Amino acid sequence: MRSRSDSSAPSRVPGFATRRRCCWGRRRRRRASRARRAPSMRRVPARSAGSLPSPAADSRGCSSGTASAAGSSGSTTGSVGTSPLSCARCTSHEAPDSASPRTVRPSMTYCYFGHHKCASAWFCGVIPVVCQDLGLSWHTTSSFADFHFGSPAGRADFLLFRNAGMNHVPRERDFRGFHVIRDPRDVVVSAYHSHRRSHPATDEWQELNEIRERLNGMSVEAGLLWELENLAPVFRQMQTWDYSSPRIREFRMEELIANPFKIALESFGFLGLLDDEPARGVRRLTFAALSLLNKPARPWGEAGRRGPIRFAKITAERLLGIVHAHDFKRLSGGRRQGHEDVTSHYRKGIAGDWERAFTPRVKDRFKELYGPLLIQLGYAASSDW
């Protein structure tokens, strides 16, 4: 007869440890079974039934359950973990051999279309923070040249065009965006002060130092007249823009100055990225806690890397907090709107400053060059202003 201490002897009556192991095993099997039957809980925008990928595409894109990253500098590498079941909600715009649960991207591309001196610096400060919270990748370009949407940068979830023309509007993909313009007369005044003192010189705009030297050798009136000629490409983009596109929401910088919170809610609401339901208790804490996990990914977001946690929408409370952190007083170092500092990129923060700066000579030259544009954009009813 074997002793009870013999470890090789089978137990006739299962003990507590055995029952516990069996219990945990059953629980694991039940959870796995429910996961196979239930839809994915991944927080990404749902696609319409007509645009779901085929089962073959699903199996090809989700054959691996491990993380992978592909692409070179500027490409959308992504860092989103998901289950094969969730891939029916999104599609990969990368090569099939690089598709994996972490390289899938939403079917919708989001766009910001701006112009020089039309609050582009403000939007390019707010939008990346929103993308970070949502786990989206983004790409910013200031070039007037054609944008190649098939390039690695073109695969970003959110595209920011600081000098937008119709050549920057996606043609062969589903997108939504918003477009911001400004009174061209205020653009001239703002550009003069910015080019003369505050605008940072970059590799993309190496001519700025030469422009700055030229403006510093002119009178204010002569500098404004020179800017009228220099800004012709910017005003040409405004003139040739399609203001009737149902996929692009139109805003004016004057509206942003008057109420930035309202414009932020309307713009991201139009994109479908705003959760305007009251965020109470667990929902608010969950979004706040999980969005913090995306913070380390922000330095690489410009290069196309997504955050580890993906959200379909940002809460209204969080968006308003981001806007508050980018109000004029904070960005200008404590000044209120209307208090001028010509050395600051956020010089004055008001609309209509052209009325003080334009001389009769500058006004006549502006009417000669851009009078029809002012009427087209709705900033004047006639040339008698």
For residue range 218-258, what is the model confidence (pLDDT) as tens digits? 999 999 999 999 999 999 999 999 999 999 999 999 999 99
Question: 289-308 pLDDT, tens per residue?
Answer: 666 666 665 555 555 566 66
- Record: fold of 109-376: Rossmann fold (3.40.50)
Q: Measuring CA to CA, which residue among 161, 79, 87, 94 is closest to residue 127? A: 161
Tell me what pLDDT residue 301 has: 52
Phi/psi at 161 (5° precision): -110, 110
| Cα angle 256, 284, 325; round to 5 | 35
Q: Are 176 and 107 in contact (CB under 8 A)?
A: no
The 10 Å Cβ neighbour count of residue 286 is 12
Q: Give me 144's structure tokens.
A: 């007037």
What average pLDDT does the structure give for the chain? 76
CB 253 within 8 A of CB 182: yes
Using a 10 angstrom Cβ sphere, with 0-12 exposed, 13-18 middle and 19 or more buried, the burial of residue 244 is exposed
Nearest to 286 by CA among 264, 260, 314, 259: 314
Which residues, including other chains, have CB under 8 Å from residue 267's CB and lie 6 or more apart?
178, 249, 251
**To 10 degrees, what angle do helices 120-134 and 281-291 make?**
100
| Domain boundaries, given as residue ranges, for the chain | 109-376
User: What backbone phi and psi angles, to 5 degrees, belong to 88?
Assistant: -70, -10
Q: Which of 24-33, 91-100, 148-157 has the lowest mean pLDDT?
A: 91-100
* pLDDT class of 107 with cuts at 50, 70, 90: confident
Q: Give the lowest-confidence range in 92-106, 162-176, 181-195, 304-318.
A: 92-106
> The tokens of 376 are what?
């087209």
Q: Of the ranges 112-126, 158-172, 196-210, 245-259, which one carries the lowest mean pLDDT score?
A: 196-210
